[in-house]
Structure 1
Amino acid sequence: MATAAGCRSRPQDLAESAAPQGGGESILVVEDDPLVRRNVVVQLESLGYTVIAAGNAVEALELADRGVPFDLLFTDVIMPGGLNGRQLVTEILKRRPGVPVLYTSGYPRNTIIHQGRLNPDVAVLSKPYRKSDLARMIR
C-alpha cells in the first residue's frame, strides 16, 4: 500500500495503526527493568491509556495503599525485591478486589506455569511483544 509520500507501509506498521485504542483507562504497570518499563509506558500512552508506573511490587503496593486509581494491573511475573508478580497480584486483590490483571514475562508461558509461578488460566503477554499484541491483550 503506498502512502501519500510514496513510501510503502510495512505490514507491521499497518497492524500497529489498527491496534485497539484505549478509552482513557488507567493502567498500573509494574516492571523492574527501567528500559522495558519506559517502553511499555510510551506504548500504552500512545494507545490512549493513563499509565502509573512502578519499578517493583513494593512501589506498586504503596501506590495502591495511597489510593491511586487504576483500572488494570499489568505486571511482570519475575521481579527482584521480595515479591514476585503473583504475590503482588494476591496483595493488590486484597486492596482492589476484582481488578483485572495481565501478566508479562520474558519466560515462555509453559515454563512459568509448569514451575508453579502462575495458574494456567491467567492472561500472560510474552516478551518481547508488539504494540498491537499489547493493545489487543489490554482491551
Structure 2
Amino acid sequence: MKNSNYEKQISELILETICKFDERDSKERNFGTDVNIHHSEIHMIKFIKENTDLHISAIARKLGITRGAVSQTIKRLQSKGLITKEVDEGNNSKIVVRLTGKGQTAYINHENYHKQYEIRIKNILENMGAGSEKVVYDFLLEFYRKI
C-alpha cells in the first residue's frame, strides 16, 4: 500500500533539491584559481580539456550552440587567463583553443568537486543497504524521462 504522504514529501524534497542545485550552480566559483568562473565557463573548460585542438566552429558544432555563444565564452576565459588561442599547426588559417596552467587547475578542481558528490552518494547508498542503488537509479531515470 502506497503512502501518499511520502509521495508528497518526496515530490517536495526533489523540487527543493533541484532549486538548491540551481542556486548553487548559478554562483561563481574559483576552482582553485585567482578568478571566479561561471557554470557555463567551467563546462567549456571541461569540454576543451576533453576535446583537444578544436577551433571555435568545431566546438560550436559539437556542443550544438552558436558560434557567437562559443566566441563570447572563449573571450571571457581568455581574459581570465584560463585558455589561449593558438594557430593550428596542421592548418595555419585556423585558431585552436587550449587550456593554460590556470585552466588546467580549474579543470582538475572541477573534477574533484564532482568526485566529492560521487563519494557522498556512494556513502549514502551503502548506508541504505543492498539493492538501494538500483531502486534509486530506476526512480531517477524514470523521473528524468518524464520531465
Query: TM-score, length-normalised on structure 2?
Result: 0.25
Higher radius of gyration, 1 or 2:
2
More helix by share: 2
Query: TM-score, length-normalised on structure 1?
Result: 0.26
More strand by share: 1
Per chain length, whose mean CA-contact separation is higher, i.e. which structure has more relative contact order (CA < 8 Å, sep 6+)?
Answer: 1
